[in-house]
Structure 1
Amino acid sequence: MLRGLYTAASGMITQQRRHDTVTQNIANINTAGYKQVNSVTHSFPDVLISLMGDKENGGQKTIGRLTTGVFAEESLASFMQGDLKETNNSSDFGLVSNLVLIDPATDEPIPFDASGKYVAEDGEVIYRPEVFFTVQDANGETRYTRDGGFRVNAVGDLLTDQGQRVLDTDGNPIALPPGITMDQVKSDSLGNLSYDVDGVQTDLAAIGVVVVNNPHQLVREGHGVFRVDNVQAADIRALEAEDNASVRQGYLESSNVDTAQAMVDLMAAQRAYESNQKLIQYYDKSLEKAVNEIGRV
């Protein structure tokens, strides 16, 4: 009976965490470049149920297995492409990516699922590479984001909404020359910036756009910003012309949260939480009856 009590309690904790994850996604529906998070659950190790045999027959008789509850194992980000929203703001930049990997065994493109994952026949898990802007935080550390809602401060530095400096392909902060505004700056599909003065086109810098071959190695820091603790595992490289990815000036990438599915998941988590709550109440009444009534016999 107590095993069932603990199992129901673990279910409540798991559904609460699932509810919190979905709530976070819903709260960021209008956040540019936000990537939704999916909660992954896993059962506790199975317990082998056995019956003690008598001495003549010897040994134990296996009855079966029983799981002892569930827990929220981890939260995985979904890096699916979000819709582009036109803003006509010259300091806004959206990323469009649909990078293709070729399976060396078949020479065909790898068929990634909706979450950007593919499991090969030998069990190897392959993730679709994704592209990110490179920025610099207050400590001078390199970070990555899909939020291209940039702005220019009083001294001409190109910054994110959080005040982080936007880096170029060489890892240097991008700054506009004195007297130049973002309305004069144009970008090509690779993020190469240039500005026009009296009909003369001058190269400025190239926005640092990188390809992360294993985006699930990124660690979420908040506000749409990610860091990398293991650069080798993440396998980061510069964006190349042959990559099926581009930079769009005057656009922002919307959140990739599926609103309808988020509401379904929210209701499912709530119903499952209530079911586990009812089970705990049932076990509580059963224990009360066993102690107060059966104990008198």
Structure 2
Amino acid sequence: MIRGLYTAASGLVAEMARTDVISNNLANVNTSGFKKDRAIFRAFPEMNIHRIGDPAVLSPKDKIDPKPFIGVLGTGSMLDEINTNFSQGSIKNTSNPLDLALTGEGFFEVQTPGGVRYTRDGSFTRNQQGYLVTGDGHYVLGLNGPIQLPDGKDISINRRGEVFSDGSFVDRLLVAAFADQRQLLKEGDNLYVSNQQPLPSNSEVIQGALEGSNVNPISEMVDLITAFRAYEASQRVVKANDDTLGKAVNDIARL
């Protein structure tokens, strides 16, 4: 009975983690460049169950295993990892010349107080000093460092990420790719951090557009309902085990 409580409790913890991941996905349905996550679980090692108390010998030549094998017992589950889906989001035109979208595998490089980070969110602006920055004020990096745009001039950016001001070349956006995107870690604020060496990317830059989130709100709501139902099932198992333990302590002790 105690083992049943621990097994059910592990299910509660796992479904809580799953619910948190799905809730975060739903909260970022309208976040530019957001990539949805999935909670991946694994089972605890199974236990072999044997019956005990059988007679050891029926006759001199007919022996019975004193502990015959019955089957296996599951011991619960746990969160193994949170996997990010990097599939392409839809491209939405905004007509803002500083809004940039990427098609294909790649990430804009930005300079933060913690070092270089990577993002798919291309909703950039120009700060008071003329630098191209993210919504949180992080500098967008080019081949020559933070990109500074001349004031009062038309800015055009081609598909290779080359930035022009009134036809004059300014810089080229740094767009990084990685050998294994699964090793990228979300840091918050739609930024990724990686210990891998960034590689040149074949992504195309689209000016005047943003990449939408790749979250499907309908499928996420279905997953959320499924997680709630699984959580409720584990709750009922905990209650059933608790009731059984209560009877064992209060009723059997009277006999």
Q: What's the TM-score, normalizing by structure 1?
A: 0.79
Aligned to 2:196: 231
Please say if residues 10 and 77 of structure 2, whose CA atoms lie closer than 8 Å, have aligned partners that are also in contact: yes
Aligned to 2:36: 36
Please say if residues 149 and 165 of structure 2, whose CA atoms lie closer than 8 Å, have aligned partners that are also in contact: no
Aligned to 1:103: none
Output the amino acid matched with 1:204: V
- The 5 Å alignment of 1:211-290 reads 211-228=177-194, 230-232=195-197, 236-239=198-201, 243=202, 245-290=203-248
Aligned to 1:25: 25
The runs of 5 or more residues in structure 1 that have no matched partner are: 98-129
Output the amino acid matched with 1:146: R
- Distance in 1 (CA, whole Å) between partners of 2:140 and 2:68 is 66
Given the alignment of the two structures, is residue 94 of structure 1 paired with residue 101 of structure 2, yes or no? yes
Render the CA deviation track for 1:24-77: whole Å, top value 9, x for unaligned: 100011111111110011111111222457665567533222120011111111
Given the alignment of the two structures, is residue 136 of structure 1 paired with residue 111 of structure 2, yes or no? yes
Output the amino acid matched with 1:88: S
Compute the displacement of 1:78 (Å).
0.7
Please say if residues 34 and 121 of structure 2, whose CA atoms lie closer than 8 Å, have aligned partners that are also in contact: yes
Aligned residues: 248
Match of 2:147 among 174, 181, 200: 174
Describe the shift of the 1:22–1:142 C-alpha distance in structure 2 as closer, same or farther (beyond 3 A). Answer: same
Given the alignment of the two structures, is residue 79 of structure 1 paired with residue 86 of structure 2, yes or no? yes
The runs of 5 or more residues in structure 2 that have no matched partner are: 58-62
Output the amino acid matched with 1:166: V
Aligned to 2:73: 66
> Which is higher, the Rg of structure 1 or of structure 2?
2
Match of 2:131 among 140, 150, 157: 157
- The 5 Å alignment of 1:45-60 reads 45-52=45-52, 57=63, 60=67
Render the CA deviation track for 1:1-42: whole Å, top value 9, x for unaligned: 111111111111111111111001000111111111100111
Q: What's the TM-score, normalizing by structure 2?
A: 0.92
- Distance in 2 (CA, whole Å) between partners of 1:222 and 1:276 is 31
Matched residue SS, 2:170: strand
Matched residue SS, 1:31: coil
Compute the displacement of 1:195 (Å).
1.5
Output the amino acid matched with 1:267: I
- Distance in 2 (CA, whole Å) between partners of 1:249 and 1:59 is 76
Describe the shift of the 1:247–1:265 C-alpha distance in structure 2 as closer, same or farther (beyond 3 A). Answer: same
Matched residue SS, 2:228: helix
- Distance in 2 (CA, whole Å) between partners of 1:292 and 1:195 is 83
Describe the shift of the 1:88–1:51 C-alpha distance in structure 2 as closer, same or farther (beyond 3 A). Answer: same
Aligned to 2:60: none
- Distance in 1 (CA, whole Å) between partners of 2:176 and 2:111 is 14
Given the alignment of the two structures, is residue 209 of structure 1 paired with residue 184 of structure 2, yes or no? no
Output the amino acid matched with 1:238: P
- Would you identify which runs of 4 or more consecutive aligned residues in structure 1 move more than 4 Å? 52-60
Render the CA deviation track for 1:164-204: whole Å, top value 9, x for unaligned: 1000135x111113x344xx1111111111111xxxx2101
Compute the displacement of 1:154 (Å).
0.8
- Distance in 2 (CA, whole Å) between partners of 1:45 and 1:294 is 33
Once structures 1 and 2 are overlaid, which stretch shifts more, 160-169 or 48-57?
48-57
Output the amino acid matched with 1:227: V
